[in-house]
Amino acid sequence: MMQESGTEATSNGPANQNGAASVEGGARDARPKSATTLSAVDMAAADLIHLQQHQALQVARQILLQQQQQQQLQPQQGTGLKSPNEKQPSLQVPVSVAMMTPQVITPQQMQQILQQQVLSPQQLQVLLQQQQALMLQQQQLQEFYKKQQEQLHLQLLQQQHAGKQSKEQQQQAQQLAFQQQLMQVQQLQQQHLLNLQRQGLLTIQPGQTTLPLHSLTQGMIPAELQQLWKEVTNVKEENSSSNNSHRGLDLSSPQPPKNPLLNQHASTNGQYMSHSLKREGSTLDDHHHHHSHHSHPLYGHGVCKWPGCEAVFEDFQSFLKHLNNEHALDDRSTAQCRVQMQVVQQLELQLAKDKERLQAMMTHLHVKSTEPKPTPQPLNLVSNVTLSKTAPPEASPPLSLPQTPTTPTAPLTPLSQAHSVITPNSLHHSVGPMRRRYSDKYNMPISPDIVQNKEFYMNAEVRPPFTYASLIRQAILESPEKQLTLNEIYNWFTRMFAYFRRNAATWKNAVRHNLSLHKCFVRVENVKGAVWTVDELEFQKRRPQKISGSPALVKNIQTSLGYGPALSAAFQASMAENNIPLYTTASIGSPTLNSLANAIREEMNGAMDHGNSNGSDSSPGRSPLPAMHHIKEEPLDPEDHEGPLSLVTTANHSPDFDHHRDYDDDQGHDDML
């Protein structure tokens, strides 16, 4: 009862259309319409991006973990080899950590860039390229480290099991190797930074090479990113006004209150101006330009590595040509660039977290010799709490992240019994892609990154690009028992999507409506009430209908998704780029997010599926972006949107819904905080 009212009534105050929700009689017309279309679309895209990042991050994390391990294990050795600029991380982690981070553009830097209005088309591209290069590097490193890590693991295992033989020697050798790798990484990173500086894209003072960890950790929250992107886009749009003026992300038309500075981009006439800027910065850059040698970050193995583009080229020249023609500055490229930037951003954030995690792990292991059991981690405390509920002691080592500094991790949903290890219910097995692979292996839970995703949805008031039916199904399938009460479903919605924290009367009604309307939702009487379950067959049954083959549809979908093609392409490309097996990666996360990710993928696949759609494997995906119509039609006063958007605030309390009896509805959380 109080839920709905409380929900929106809260801060939106005026100008909100919510009145319509519960009481309006014919207020229907009152419903605002028109404006948000794009933003909504864009956001949907953002969601995807998010997922992508999510996965990419995992990889990055691994790399970092390894790096840190090395450092930790070998604090002293090999010092001489290191570049002079570092102070040698003896014990302080921050330092070492910091060293690794500069490779990606930090939020601050990003802002700088924006502020300087250097976002000319060229620069945007350059930026993108740089970021891409980053990805490549990480990929390489990843592979490399992967091997090493495996060895390390083996060693550890041996040590533990076989007692304390003289493995130490081996380990030392190993460590040396690590050390070397570490240095390599650092060099790469520095190199990269240099590049950026050269391009004039970054203005970093010499001594500033190492950024404070917190700057990264704090990263930007989705909302901020969005704002940033908005800025970026705006700037860009001003230049290339023509195209589709719409699609820009104008979630909140007005500029964000936060970066007033950015607003000045007013008449940025990028093109030329930036050019000069670039020149300026290029002073140091005399030697190689990324163009000079064939090692163009966007060109590899004869293929264009632009997200989503896999064009093949005989020679570098033709590639360049292609790059200029096909990937010139336009809405699409910009969108892709944005995606990439976000990816990077998220990676950065994740890296920071994982570093910290590693740190904890190392600490733990060190201490271990003395007192193995009682892990002293401060974070553990937190995590323990989380785990305690369900978590069997077993695996899960260090886990969760401690810090979570200023991040707006929503305080709500505490826990997660979650991992639930996905009940062996063969239920979802039959379905398409998502279930295959990821669910089999129960994965260990705890994954910090979820928080991020979660945050995204929780913060961004973006209408999720899924139909109610899809979401409901998702909610139900995610539950340990594969069944939920209506209320639990509601809770899931509000937990997972900020969007559903408003207009409760409306969407709840829709949920109910969907539950009873679709055959795929089966109500099961229960001792204390009834629960809803999903008849997967039924569900799948009606999924294939549209999408499967029609190219036209695909096109539409893409369009609907905003930069659909671009994003999805970027999404997938990036994944591939990082060797991130979608499913595998996903499996690491929490069931909830995984599912979400999978759901999205599913939708995407269905939508984009070029080619083999019918038949067996191709995912069922189909209904994609359903309903965003009205979103687009709601002109919502800027205020309306803005408020929510700055969610940081909003996010913090959302508990409104959760309270009462939901003890078990929260399967999906992994937050550790």
Of the two residues 234 and 485, which places its CB atom closer to DNA in the complex?
A: 485
Q: Which residues contact DNA by CB under 7 A? A: 1-3, 20-21, 24-28, 31, 466-469, 485-487, 490, 503, 505-507, 509-510, 512-517, 523, 529-530, 532, 542, 545-546, 550, 552-553, 556, 560, 623, 626-627, 629-630
Q: From the CB of 464, what's the least distance to DNA, in Å?
A: 9
Q: Give the DSSP letter of residue 125.
A: H
Of the two residues 396 and 509, which places its CB atom closer to DNA in the complex?
A: 509
Q: From the CB of 599, what's the least distance to DNA, in Å?
A: 13
Burial of 151 (0-12, 13-18, 19+ CB in 10 A): middle
| Bridge partner residues of 531 (DSSP) | 524
Q: Angle of helix 121-161 relative to helix 167-199, nearest 10 degrees? A: 170
Structure tokens at 448: 């910090």
Q: From the CB of 375, what's the least distance to DNA, in Å?
A: 41
Q: From the CB of 635, what's the least distance to DNA, in Å?
A: 14
- Distance CA(326)–CA(306), nearest Å, equals 10
Of the two residues 436 and 630, which places its CB atom closer to DNA in the complex?
A: 630
| Residue matched to tokens 């499967």 | 548
Of the two residues 346 and 494, which places its CB atom closer to DNA in the complex?
A: 494
Taking a C-beta distance cutoff of 8 angstroms, is the pair 227, 233 a contact?
no
Of the two residues 25 and 84, which places its CB atom closer to DNA in the complex?
A: 25
Helical segments of 163-210, H only? 167-199
- Distance CA(57)–CA(593), nearest Å, equals 14
Taking a C-beta distance cutoff of 8 angstroms, is the pair 249, 233 a contact?
yes
Amino acid 113 reads I
Q: From the CB of 560, what's the least distance to DNA, in Å?
A: 6
Structure tokens at 19: 């009145």
Of the two residues 349 and 471, which places its CB atom closer to DNA in the complex?
A: 471
Q: From the CB of 125, what's the least distance to DNA, in Å?
A: 31
How many Cβ atoms are within 10 Å of 671's Cβ, its own excluded?
26
Q: Strand 529-534 vs strand 299-300: parallel, antiparallel, or unpaired?
A: unpaired
Structure tokens at 390: 């369900």
Q: Strand 303-304 vs strand 299-300: parallel, antiparallel, or unpaired?
A: antiparallel
Q: From the CB of 661, what's the least distance to DNA, in Å?
A: 9
Of the two residues 564 and 589, which places its CB atom closer to DNA in the complex?
A: 564
H or E stretch including 216?
A: helix 213-218
In whole angstroms, how large is the CA radius of gyration of the chain? 25
Q: From the CB of 660, what's the least distance to DNA, in Å?
A: 9
Of the two residues 57 and 462, which places its CB atom closer to DNA in the complex?
A: 462
| Bridge partner residues of 530 (DSSP) | 525
Terminal Cα-to-Cα distance of the chain (whole angstroms): 29
- Distance CA(608)–CA(605), nearest Å, equals 5
Q: Give the DSSP letter of residue 263.
A: H
Of the two residues 162 and 552, which places its CB atom closer to DNA in the complex?
A: 552
Q: From the CB of 630, what's the least distance to DNA, in Å?
A: 5
